Structure 1
């Protein structure tokens, strides 16, 4: 889906569908001559293969075939249903015996799987989901808790944050493009505008 002229092909992770809708609308209003074509995909290679002009990806290790900038840090905390937990902040160890929702093997979130195992939470995880958005939906339905990105959990009125952010689960967020495109004006404009928005949008209380 690599584009030319005044078109701009964007690939981003499924996690950011809600977060990016508003800044994309703002960008289109400010730059009406640039047409955005968006593909939602979890494959960072879409830009390295020139299938998209820009990729927005959470990753600790961006592909060497791409260049870009780190625009923020995705922080994560434990969240629960607001009605059940009543906005109560708790030390992590007090949540050990409660039901947990975790990622399944298809989700590929090794960092979260390792963290849950290291903290003895696997034995209390009776429900596993293949996406972070699925975990968010599951947490709304009862007493179980789960680790979610703060920008998702804080924006959900049905959820409340139960712990401080978990530093070892921080994930850098990158805007990436192919080296041949880094000086293209529409790439630079998009990176600056969306990058500034994401830096603010990922800030949590």
Structure 2
């Protein structure tokens, strides 16, 4: 709790990070300050600020947290049972539109494994057991952190998609539907007679962008496995298919030999292999 408040700056941020009530955080900090007989935070209108005493112990507290997580990971790694908790983190679109049937099959095969599926675009801290297995798209030539055990499963491709009605005569202009860091492409122009609206539309997350394309708002860059599977969408004529990154399956060195971790990793590897043509943007080769 001390570290969560120190890093988040407010009780509410700490409560959200730890998934507890904010009153629990306040009581916990109070007990710690009472036990150490010193004030660790100045309580300001804007939040909590570390005192000199609090700042002096932050690094030691981080070391304690890492040691505690290391003990938990080491013990978890010795667990060879096919039961108990198992956390998987992966991009939301992979969970909802690609791998959910495979995860359902895994649940049927191993009903005593309490699988927790965490849809997220950020890399969970596997060292602190925020997740046991992570499926991530790594962009460019980067590789996962050295403290993780990683397997590259294949390439991930994206393409530009538009509602099929926008390719018809007298269709309204199509807006560029852009994510937070996306820009209008400058190296090619849409074919098929698509007219482009003057102002783009931006979205904070990909799911809304996808739904906007499905309603005919405009052109969106989407995972090929998502765009190719939707009957309302077609690829924009003359648009490229882009190798966006590589798919990596990641575990921590201390936990990767746990039996349920190995079972889930084997299952995901098989599922990604079966979907390789979809991920590569080759719908004509789908089974």
Give the alignment's TM-score, normalised by structure 2: 0.57
Number of aligned residues: 187
Between the aligned partners of 1:69 and 1:165, the Cα distance in structure 2 is 31
- What is the alpha-carbon distance in structure 2 between the residues aligned to residue 50 and residue 164 of structure 1? 45
Which one of 225, 243, 246 corresponds to residue 151 of structure 1? 225
TM-aligned CA deviation for residue 74 of structure 1: 1.5
Contact map agreement 1:11 1:55 (CA 8 A) in 2 = yes
- Alpha-carbon distance, 1:190 to partner: 1.0
Cα displacement (A) at 1:119: 3.0
Distance in 2 (alpha carbons) for counterparts of 1:131 and 1:12: 15
User: Does 2:130 align with 1:56?
Assistant: no
Counterpart among 210, 216, 219 of residue 142 in structure 1? 216
How far apart are 1:20 and its partner, in Å? 2.2
- Report deviation, 1:166: 3.9
2:179 matched to which residue of 1? 103
CA contact (8 A) 1:11 1:46 kept: no
CA RMSD of aligned residues (A): 2.9
Cα offset, 1:168, TM superposition: 4.5
Say which one has the larger Rg: 2
Question: Residues 51-200 of structure 1: matches in 2 within 5 Å?
Answer: 51-60=130-139, 61=142, 62-85=144-167, 99-105=175-181, 112-113=182-183, 116-119=184-187, 126-142=200-216, 144-163=218-237, 166=240, 168-200=242-274
CA distance in structure 2 between the partners assigned to 1:184 and 1:42 by the alignment: 25
Could you say if the C-alpha distance between residues 201 and 165 of structure 1 is closer, same or farther in structure 2, counting changes exceeding 3 Å? Answer: farther
Change (3 A) 1:127 1:177: same
Q: How far has the Cα of 1:149 moved from its partner?
A: 0.5
In the alignment, the residues of structure 2 paired with residue 183 and residue 190 of structure 1 have an alpha-carbon distance, to the nearest angstrom, of 11
Where does residue 89 of structure 1 map in the other structure? none
TM-score by length of 1: 0.77
Q: 1:36 to 1:51 in 2, by over 3 A?
A: same
2: CA distance between counterparts of 1:199 and 1:22?
Answer: 14
Give distance in 2, aligned partners of 1:165 and 1:185. Answer: 44
User: Deviations 1:5-41 (Å, cap 9, x if unpaired)?
Assistant: 5221111222223122111101111222322112222
Q: Residues 65 and 201 from structure 1, CA distance in 2 versus in 1: closer, same or farther, beyond 3 angstroms?
A: same
In 2, Cα distance between equivalents of 1:102 and 1:129: 6
Cα deviations by residue, 1:138-181 (Å, 9 ceiling, x for unpaired): 11122511111101111222111225784554221111111112
Of 173-182 and 61-70, the range deviating more from structure 2: 61-70
Which segment drifts farther, 167-176 or 1-10? 1-10
Cα distance change on mapping 1:153 and 1:25 into 2, 3 Å: same
Which residue of 2 is the match for residue 108 of structure 1? Answer: none
